[in-house]
Amino acid sequence: MVRSSTTGHALLGLLALRPSWTATELADQISRNMRFFWPRAASRVFAESKAAVDRGWALSRSESRAGQGAPRRTRYRISAAGRQELKLWLASPPRGTVLECEALLRVLLADLGTVDDLRRAIESVGDDADELFSVASMVGSEYLEGTAPFQDDVHVRALVFDYLAGFATFTHDWSERSRAYVDSWSGMDPEARAEAGVGLVRRSMAKFPRQREHH
Amino acid sequence: MVRSSTTGHALLGLLALRPSWTATELADQISRNMRFFWPRAASRVFAESKAAVDRGWALSRSESRAGQGAPRRTRYRISAAGRQELKLWLASPPRGTVLECEALLRVLLADLGTVDDLRRAIESVGDDADELFSVASMVGSEYLEGTAPFQDDVHVRALVFDYLAGFATFTHDWSERSRAYVDSWSGMDPEARAEAGVGLVRRSMAKFPRQREHH
DNA sequence: ACGCACATGTAAGCAGTTACATGATTTG
DNA sequence: CAAATCATGTAACTGCTTACATGTGCGT
């Protein structure tokens, strides 16, 4: 069975963008640029870098550095086979999007806890949004000023930016809306709350696009 | 070090909702109700069910069924310690939301592949949205008719519904918008494309909410 | 009677994480 | 010059997935 190793291909993509990278540079780049849609620990990047060499997708060279006893640093560059593999992968169908939201799980089970537990879960989704906003503000400004790393790729990176900005906005709005919704419970009896719930479902569904036809 | 085992607590939440469950019922429930924000394979549910017993959170009883050689089926119910643990967990801070979108990774690296590769990546995000819409339409109708399983929890489940509906809508809109954006490239030179990219970033940022003050 | 799907798991293996190690560099 | 931080990894562990096993019931 062949596991797809998306992370390995993410690495391969970076290797193709510049002639040579150290493992730490790769780890930093993944952490800075991909963490919101492909979050991986640095140790994973180190392991995948070695694996890429084993697979023949990259070449490595161990360089000694200034200090005598300093740990040797490994520098990677992509191979012809790596470029070939990358093109094949880019042409293959992407895996589906995966969302993991523990806060939403807590909301689902909210009746088993307190209302304050629920409020905290809703709040934490708002915090997620805030973090995204604050990073996006900085990155976005760089693009506007033309000083971003990989500024040459704005035409495609803008799409990623737009996605993440949209995600942050939607998430932020949900959190605010939900906070107000829970606040509105005070003084409601269970039937009124149930009615409010049905009303919320109805409003959500009203925004669905018309079903597209299959042709 | 203590791993949080969110999946185990998700299970515990289900166990608290009904007096008794078979492992397969638990797996089905997680697959149906949680798969869009906490997707886990059935085999994981089987393993966590056993682990819950080992931790003292649940009790299990192995029942024999009709046929002689039929595999024995295990029935689980929550313990007092399990209810206690569940309350503690619900009061603890949730982990941050994690998004994994391979399609977005492909968009980021799109310059290394063909424009059609990029189109397919964008399209696949639209497909994700369509699947969510089709499930949400069915589930939503049940809530409106009052026939949903766990209808008593509409007042909180509506929040989860609203989140997923919003996610589907945002995702769908991004896919359409991005398709049009890429289509607009025909006949543009690289500078014009870069300018279009910067314009997209600018429009995305314009929608950011004002930064909240820390008090 | 035969084939197929379903129910109820088990087994093997990989991807990913946290924790730690070690010397260099910077900083107060 | 001691303390904190950084660079560059390694080690140990675990959650999760895919693939498989085995027997039952059902449709035809």
**Nearest residue of chain A to residue B202 (CA atoms):** A144
> What pLDDT, on a 0 to 100 scale, did the predictor assign at position A73?
85
Give strand letter and number of the nucleotide nearest A40 (CA to C1'). Answer: C16
> What pLDDT, on a 0 to 100 scale, did the predictor assign at position A215?
43
CB atoms within 10 A of CB B12: 25
Per residue of chain A (215 residues), give pLDDT as tens: 456 689 999 999 999 999 999 999 999 999 999 999 999 999 999 999 999 999 999 999 987 665 555 567 899 999 999 999 999 999 999 999 999 999 999 999 999 999 999 999 999 999 999 999 999 999 999 999 999 999 999 999 999 999 999 999 999 999 999 999 999 999 999 999 999 999 999 999 999 987 655 54
Contact (CB, 8 A) for B143 and B161: yes
**Distance, CA of B114 to C1' of C9, in Å:** 45
CA–CA distance, B208 with A165 (Å, rounded to integer): 8
Query: Cβ of B74 < 7 Å from strand D?
Result: no
Read out DSSP for B5-61?
Answer: -HHHHHHHHHHHHSS-EEHHHHHHHIIIIITTTS---HHHHHHHHHHHHHTTSEEEE
**Distance, CA of A23 to C1' of C3, in Å:** 54
Q: How far is A107 from chain B (nearest CA, A)?
A: 7
CB atoms within 10 A of CB B183: 10
| Chain length of chain B | 215
Q: How far is A138 from chain B (nearest CA, A)?
A: 10
Percent of chain B residues past pLDDT 70, beyond the cut: 92
pLDDT tier at B209 (50, 70, 90 boundaries)?
A: confident
| Chain length of chain A | 215
Which DSSP letter does residue B207 get?
A: T
Q: Is there a contact between B104 and A130 if contact means CB atoms under 8 Å apart? A: no
> What pLDDT, on a 0 to 100 scale, did the predictor assign at position B176?
98
Indicate yes or no: pTM above 0.75.
yes
> What pLDDT, on a 0 to 100 scale, did the predictor assign at position A87?
96
- Contacts A–B by Cβ distance under 8 A: 311
Give strand letter and number of the nucleotide nearest B48 (CA to C1'). Answer: D15
Q: Which of A116-130, B97-111, B155-169, B198-212 has the lowest mean pLDDT?
A: B198-212
Query: Which residue type sits at B209?
Result: P
> What pLDDT, on a 0 to 100 scale, did the predictor assign at position A5?
87
Q: How far is B129 from chain A (nearest CA, A)?
A: 9
> CA geometry: angle at A121 spanning A120 and A127, to 5°?
85
> What pLDDT, on a 0 to 100 scale, did the predictor assign at position B193?
98
Name B63's Cβ contacts closer than 8 Å, sequence gap at least 6: B72, B73, B74, B75
CB atoms within 10 A of CB B47: 14
Q: Which two tokens stand for residue A26?
A: 């790769």
Give strand letter and number of the nucleotide nearest B46 (CA to C1'). Answer: C9
**Distance, CA of B29 to C1' of D21, in Å:** 24
| Region class of A214: left (phi > 0), else alpha (psi between -120 and 50), else beta | beta
Contact (CB, 8 A) for B205 and A140: yes
Question: What angle separates helix A23-34 from helix A42-54, to the nearest 10 degrees?
Answer: 120
The continuous run of DSSP H or E covering A62 comes out as: strand A58-63
Query: Cβ of B74 < 7 Å from strand C?
Result: yes
Please report residues of B whose CB lies closer than 8 A to that of A207.
165, 169
Contact (CB, 8 A) for B105 and A13: yes
> What pLDDT, on a 0 to 100 scale, did the predictor assign at position A1?
45
> What pLDDT, on a 0 to 100 scale, did the predictor assign at position A209?
87
pLDDT tier at B53 (50, 70, 90 boundaries)?
A: very high
How high does pLDDT run on average in chain B? 92
Q: Is there a contact between B167 and A170 if contact means CB atoms under 8 Å apart? A: yes
